[in-house]
Structure 1
């Protein structure tokens, strides 16, 4: 069962931010994951702004091709020309453009780019390319991510144009839960404690970054925050 399946059973209609918080806490309690009651609400459903499916599809492709170039740098020029020819290069953030163009990435830069696959998995869920999100305990399989994308250097128009958004209430359910999972994993890490139920702090961080971009915690990808 995906983590959203539990939340969905609680209430299928619109929710207040307080209701959403209580549902997340109910799930955390059921799973024996620590939480603090005074962690604030996220935004109200009536006020939130959500990225378009088109924007999310474009971001998925940018992140995926950056990951590819980090592993196969000799294909860099070919990939950049491809992105330019499909109006995707303009969707690459300033920080990402620097990474695309670097002759040699540092080990840490390569690791950071690799972890973005977890953000891609979350974004694929947002546009209905992934059916269920499980608890963030195991890394997404690259083969599963790639199987949901257009072929390498093939026209991405159909993928982008046919992307559809999940309902706002579902997106905010995951946003709220991820926010509280991030607190739980950071708290365990800071206190040198085992991660609750095998959660991965790195996966949670990437999901949190992605969902905060989806819900406009910042206008630009490079500026997203993941405060807890």
Structure 2
């Protein structure tokens, strides 16, 4: 009787971010031929060049081709040796990206998900920015109310936190239609901060526009324009920082996805509203003090200088 030794199971995944091939032709040789490199173990079927390294579509990093092939035991050992908390964050973030249709973007460095030393602007400053964004989005539709709202912002000691570009809009006799349309999207940024400050229970999906329920909740829990603000601003608190940072990274990676589309000419496989995602990315980057000197007084200039690069 012959006994055949069972061939060990092989799992192909990126050594850095754990992205697994999806059967698509993500790789191109210098000769111009495109193919699934794992069908030939890295050898171009056209010119026969043997590629020693392979670029990952998920994280963009190069790794030796041979390191992509793992046994289940090797993968299990890696998972057990890694930080379980950060791995859970990685899986949560990546599952949300996949749910939106961003299937090939992964986190290659777990340290990227370590928020333990990160800091946010104070809840008070976040609340001030939320109110200003709310006011500006309203005034984009109601220009005639600008003098009254400006007086209110000054009386509530928020005027120094209005940005130079916002003040320019508030004083412009005839702002362009494009300017008004762009500023009307500020309501999305205001709602994002309201969510951070627990005044909105959940953020609408990025592929849903015009959620009346969320807007009603926002208006119910945030003072109306013209009302006193001192007590409201002094009692604000943040929700879980993990939730806030994950939302920021989600939109940061979405921004990277849309940027890459411009360069590779591929079709958008999501239904994400890019403007909403951008507005969330911008305001959450503003909220994160790693992008500024946290000792600075939070004035309006910081809003105009927010870094939205990825």
Normalised by the size of structure 2, how large is the TM-score?
Answer: 0.62
Deviation at 1:195, TM superposition (A): 4.5
Provide the secondary structure at the position in 2 that maps to 1:150.
coil
Write the distance in 2 (CA, Å) between the matches of 1:159 and 1:138. Answer: 29
Checking the alignment, whether the CA contact within 8 Å between 1:185 and 1:199 is kept in structure 2 is no
Higher-RCO chain (CA-CA 8 Å, sequence separation at least 6): 1
Deviation at 1:189, TM superposition (A): 6.1
- Are residues 1:36 and 2:105 paired? yes
C-alpha spacing 1:183/1:81, structure 2 compared with 1 (3 Å): same
C-alpha spacing 1:28/1:159, structure 2 compared with 1 (3 Å): same
Match of 1:201 in 2: 274
Cα RMSD (Å): 2.5
Match of 1:6 in 2: none
Task: Indicate which of 245, 256, 279 corresponds to 1:183.
Answer: 256
Match of 1:225 in 2: 307
Within 5 Å, which residues of 2 pair with 1:45-56?
Answer: 45-56=115-126
Checking the alignment, whether the CA contact within 8 Å between 2:199 and 2:218 is kept in structure 1 is no
Checking the alignment, whether the CA contact within 8 Å between 1:116 and 1:206 is kept in structure 2 is yes
- Are residues 1:62 and 2:132 paired? yes
Deviation at 1:107, TM superposition (A): 1.5
Structure 1: 5+ residue runs without aligned partners?
1-13
Write the distance in 2 (CA, Å) between the matches of 1:124 and 1:35. Answer: 31
Q: Counting strand residues as a fraction of each chain, which structure ranks higher?
A: 2
Match of 1:171 in 2: 244
Deviation at 1:204, TM superposition (A): 0.5
Deviation at 1:145, TM superposition (A): 3.5
Deviation at 1:199, TM superposition (A): 0.9
Provide the secondary structure at the position in 2 that maps to 1:84.
helix
C-alpha spacing 1:225/1:15, structure 2 compared with 1 (3 Å): farther
Deviation at 1:174, TM superposition (A): 1.3
C-alpha spacing 1:82/1:121, structure 2 compared with 1 (3 Å): same
Match of 1:123 in 2: 193
Match of 2:162 in 1: 92
- Are residues 1:114 and 2:114 paired? no
Deviation at 1:35, TM superposition (A): 3.5
- Are residues 1:76 and 2:150 paired? no
Write the distance in 1 (CA, Å) between the matches of 2:283 and 2:201. Answer: 17
- Structure label with greater radius of gyration: 2
Checking the alignment, whether the CA contact within 8 Å between 1:48 and 1:215 is kept in structure 2 is yes
Match of 2:94 in 1: 25
- Are residues 1:210 and 2:283 paired? yes
Deviation at 1:184, TM superposition (A): 2.8
C-alpha spacing 1:27/1:152, structure 2 compared with 1 (3 Å): closer
Report Cα offsets for 1:20-65 as digits up to 9, x if no partner.
3443123323554233336776463122111111111111111111
Task: Answer with 125-134 or 217-226: which moved more.
Answer: 217-226
Match of 1:156 in 2: 229
Task: Answer with 162-171 or 20-29: which moved more.
Answer: 20-29
Match of 1:5 in 2: none
Structure 2: 5+ residue runs without aligned partners?
1-83, 294-301
Checking the alignment, whether the CA contact within 8 Å between 2:286 and 2:303 is kept in structure 1 is yes
